[in-house]
Amino acid sequence: MLTSSVTPIRSNATLAAAVDPSAAQEALKGAMSGLDAAGWAAAVTDIPSPSQPTSKFVTVSATGDPILSEELLARLLAFTKINGAESVVRAKVTKAFGLNDGTADIPVRQVSEPLPEGKHFLSYSTVPGSRDIFIAFSRADKTRADIYLTDKTGVLRAAVIVEPGVTRLITNEQASEKYKAELELFAKLAKDLPPATPGNS
């Protein structure tokens, strides 16, 4: 997931919106791949460290749509652990987030949901001891990717925008509206999945 160089990473699991409760076992299937961002510049310099968490999960949606709670996120992580694909967060993105010095990609396990406007991704770091979870949206025209760093609490820790030639950190306040929209989407996808079991999320 969140690839930003020449080799997209592909796999066989995609998040597909559930139609009804009886479709729970079929809710999240299909084909997935890393963000196709070949040719995007990798230069990221002088990027500040991620700001302190300022955004948490909410429990009520004005539209009545489900909001991604910690329990729903646990379901998604359990699904990703079983059905997801190995991928990476590219080094220029990890540097922007302040996770490393930008000399190494971070391995992740990932699932995605393709929609007409673009592809939505959820992945978690497979680095031992890491708590990092990445939620992202890549536009269908490949002109921009919005990438959010969080963990099992759902607190928005940092947000990065990737555009042709530019990878930049934005404030949590600037990212909050789009981040909330991603949480709402993944909550809809998770609501009919079976509850996560201990050790499986």
Token pair recorded at residue 191: 């609501």
Q: What is the pLDDT of residue 35?
A: 38
Q: What is the pLDDT of residues 39-51, one digit of tens each?
A: 222 323 333 334 4
**What is the pairing mode between strands 106-115 and 85-89?**
antiparallel
Q: What is the pLDDT of residues 49-66, one digit of tens each?
A: 344 443 333 333 444 455
Closest CA to 94 of 85, 105, 108, 78: 105
* DSSP-derived secondary structure letter, 21: G
Query: What's this model's pTM, rounded to 2 decimal places?
Result: 0.71
Measured CA to CA, the distance from residue 189 to residue 17 in angstroms comes to: 5
